[in-house]
Structure 1
Amino acid sequence: GVRVGILTVIASASSEEYLMHRLQINSPYDTIVSRANALRERGAELVVLMVSGELPFINKLLSQSQVDLVLRSDPYYVEPVAPDEKPRENYVIVTSEAAAAKVSIEWPQGNPAEAQYEVVQLPLSDYPKDPVIAEQVATYDNRITALLSEQVARLTSEMDTTRDAVRTRENGFGNLVSDALKEASHTDVAIINGGAIRGERSYREGHLLTRKDITSELPFRNHIRVLRITGADLKSALENGVSRVEDASGRFPHVSGMQFKVQLSAAPGNRVKELTINGSPMEPGRIYSLATSDYLANGGDGYDSLKRGTEVPFSQQVTPLIADIVISVLRRQSTLSATATGRISFVNGRDS
């Protein structure tokens, strides 16, 4: 038989996302190399690395024979265009959550570098369920279902989170999210991008919003970030946000503490007019406090001007998820009127 050593890697953000305070996550590359060497010293002839997302150095590990086979489960995988970035034959990627990979390996004894790999992806339904694991899954599903079914607020108006509604104009749910960020961080203003809202639903008045509704609307595990930023950079961020309204781009901004007009006939970069901050004209040289998502703070969706801001530590030890902040606000309010309040208006009549 062949002695096989198996390594697994978890995302570096896990310690924060899942509140595992005592968990320390080391540099993945150095740790993989160290542990792979240790497995070989213990007699492993084949070292397998299992991952669930993107690691930029996978091909490097394989080309240097640090590991022999990589198994990756990733439903969001997009094959790279560059030939040197394409996965090697011993880099197996399963993109369907309902599939498994069967890997057959042949190589000259003692020389896995010359191995030949044959990969077949099979539906999980072809395999019988393990009764013990099936019971564990059912127990977990029941707990998650009970948690997500919690009712947090009642809608006192209709609410629209379809693509056009959150990417081309002010939106009631977008206002809720930005207001929640501003309230949680006690900042001057807040910005969230319409692309962060993915529910694609139309809710009727009287609907009882659940935790599942909110996590479906905000599926990305974005965290709140607080920045100190100049008025000029804040306006640049808004200019970016309205630069592609015609394309229903996900960068469209939903704001709190701000009011402005959008002149669509103007060129992108010069569309934001009459910007006020909490009722007063924006001052380009003044420093404002801003609450936003980690995605936007890192320049996502073209918000490069936010990277010039100075990050302020959040008041809590663990930075919360934006979805959890919104759920907490809704619990306290118990009702939600998801209507526009005139924060963003269009000079060319695009308000509705």
Structure 2
Amino acid sequence: MSISFRPLRPILGATSLVALTALPAMAETVKLTLLGVGDVYSYAEEDGRGGFPRLNAVARAERAANPNTLYLFNGDMLSPSLISGFDMGQNTIDFTNLVPFDLAVPGNHEFDFGPENFADKMKASKYPWAAINITKADGSAIEGLGGVTVKEVGGLKVALVPVAQDTSPEVSSTGDLKFLPTVDTAVEAAKAAREGGADIVVGVVQTNMENDRALMKSHAFDVILSGDDHTYATAYDGVTAYVETSVDAQLLTPIDLTVEIGDKDGKRTIKWTPAFRFIDTATVTPDPESQTLADTFTADMDAKLNVEIGTSETAIDSRRNVVRAEEATMGNLIADAMRAATGADIALMNGGGIRGDRTYDAGARLTRRDILTELPFGNVTVVTELPGSQVLAALENAVSQVEKGAGRFAQVSGLSFAFDAAAEPGSRVSEVMVGDAPLDAGKTYTVAVNDYILGGGDGYSSLGGGKIITGTGGGQLVANDVMAYVEKLGTVKPAVEGRIRKLGQ
């Protein structure tokens, strides 16, 4: 089978007309539509844009307009969200079952509540889940999780290559599941699908843009639909069409492929041209059935969460770029609450676990909703005993990827430190103080953390091996500790106090 690609320019001029007449007389034209989406955390709209009711409306409309439509999910919906702290993501399954995907790939957030919860959600889905690079610890297949899927669409054999992010074990609770390399596994599978007779090869992937560029450069794919970066982008290099699928279904881009199926010397030929369509979902009328379900969820959540628990005298900042790079007032509030609840010497909270991404004005009245929006993962506060050497190693991990905005950056209580982002990772931290005394590498400290990083999440392997004082069974949710702390004080006044100082600035 020979594969060639038509350029985006229209067919004009004598040369193009000759090429046109040279096509086989029996050539057939098929319009194939690919609608990709990922990173949909909130079922509700935000400022009149995004959310499942609008997404479902678009998906229904695309399928109605073209029966040769594939609706594909590239990861992250079970968590984090306010409601997922209550139902572990079941709401997203309810919404997507109304308009099922043709295929769904698990993102790292599908494992935030553990692999058992993901397995339950797969069983509850009215659509297939697949990922070629996730196996059990022994390398065997995971029940219910498929692999490369070939769809017969309009006479075309469309191979869907589903690939998960290989860094998922570092950022989520994947248990003992094994994740193979994202790029190498994807490219190998795409080439095999082509050799196996696929007319169109589509990568449905959850990975970062650096990996996306590597996948495009391989030219093993006709189309790549990618999530994970929480941004929107399109590209076409003459060989591969690409969409980075935004966040919360705010911006959508169906790709229409005009595919010519021909015959040359007895061999099937495929030529295609892509057309990208931009949809701002602020212009979309929500799907009525989905909106009814959303209204039901909202009413239930309002009754549970619109309860005031206290007031903040000072402004609070939980913006993503702040909690992952510097001392943040929301980080101080959370870490202080964890230490107050446990009596630990030190508290560490990974900035990636703080998700509100907003600011609160001085005088703001804080509600249960606010705290659960900031802490939606359902993590438990645990206490372990560790020598100062391991505390230092944890702090080095915390700042080892600060230039990347990694979620491992730590918000702290009970200690202070300085770091130099220009230094080599592992040698960035200095001037560590616990209370009024320098950190003693040989002294044992009680350290309050959440169960996710205690288990090695976000690269915190240095927190392991200590004596567990309060485990997950005896601990409270971090969110509950913060709510109790605010409610007890009545008025809080978190401030940037110099707990974390950046050197060289």
Q: TM-score, normalised by structure 1?
A: 0.63
- Residue 337 of structure 1, aligned match among 485, 492, 505: 492
- Residue 8 of structure 1, aligned match among 97, 101, 104: 104
Paired with 1:36 and 1:251, the residues of 2 have a C-alpha distance of: 31
**Partner SS, residue 347 of structure 2:** strand
- Residue 61 of structure 1, aligned match among 169, 180, 189: 189
Paired with 1:317 and 1:85, the residues of 2 have a C-alpha distance of: 46
Paired with 2:333 and 2:163, the residues of 1 have a C-alpha distance of: 33
Sequence identity (%): 19
203 and 311 in structure 1: CA distance in 2 versus 1, 3 angstrom threshold? farther
**Residue of structure 2 in register with 1:272 after alignment:** 431
Aligned-residue Cα RMSD (Å) equals 5.6
1:158 and 2:289 are equivalent in the alignment: no
**Partner SS, residue 284 of structure 1:** coil
Partners of 2:162 and 2:204 within 8 A in 1: yes
- Residue 89 of structure 1, aligned match among 222, 234, 240: 222
Partners of 1:236 and 1:269 within 8 A in 2: no
Paired with 1:152 and 1:128, the residues of 2 have a C-alpha distance of: 36
- Residue 278 of structure 2, aligned match among 119, 122, 138: 122
Paired with 1:246 and 1:299, the residues of 2 have a C-alpha distance of: 19
**Partner SS, residue 285 of structure 1:** coil
**Residue of structure 2 in register with 1:315 after alignment:** 471
In the alignment, structure 2 segments of 5+ residues that lack a partner are: 1-66, 71-100, 123-128, 133-140, 167-181, 226-242
Partners of 1:73 and 1:95 within 8 A in 2: no
**Residue of structure 1 in register with 2:449 after alignment:** 292
100 and 241 in structure 1: CA distance in 2 versus 1, 3 angstrom threshold? closer
Partners of 1:154 and 1:334 within 8 A in 2: no
**Partner SS, residue 391 of structure 2:** helix
- Residue 331 of structure 2, aligned match among 156, 174, 181: 174
**Residue of structure 1 in register with 2:254 after alignment:** 101
Partners of 1:166 and 1:194 within 8 A in 2: yes
203 and 95 in structure 1: CA distance in 2 versus 1, 3 angstrom threshold? same
Amino acid at match of 1:174: G
**Residue of structure 1 in register with 2:46 after alignment:** none
Partners of 2:254 and 2:277 within 8 A in 1: yes
**Residue of structure 2 in register with 1:208 after alignment:** 365
Paired with 2:119 and 2:148, the residues of 1 have a C-alpha distance of: 26
1:254 and 2:351 are equivalent in the alignment: no
In the alignment, structure 1 segments of 5+ residues that lack a partner are: none
**Partner SS, residue 106 of structure 2:** coil
Q: TM-score, normalised by structure 2?
A: 0.48
Amino acid at match of 2:288: P
Paired with 2:203 and 2:317, the residues of 1 have a C-alpha distance of: 37
Q: Give, in angstroms, the shift of residue 51 of structure 1.
A: 7.1
Amino acid at match of 1:17: F
Paired with 1:143 and 1:321, the residues of 2 have a C-alpha distance of: 21
1:78 and 2:209 are equivalent in the alignment: yes
Partners of 1:153 and 1:330 within 8 A in 2: no
Paired with 1:325 and 1:292, the residues of 2 have a C-alpha distance of: 14
Q: Give, in angstroms, the shift of residue 27 of structure 1.
A: 8.7
Q: Give, in angstroms, the shift of residue 178 of structure 1.
A: 1.2
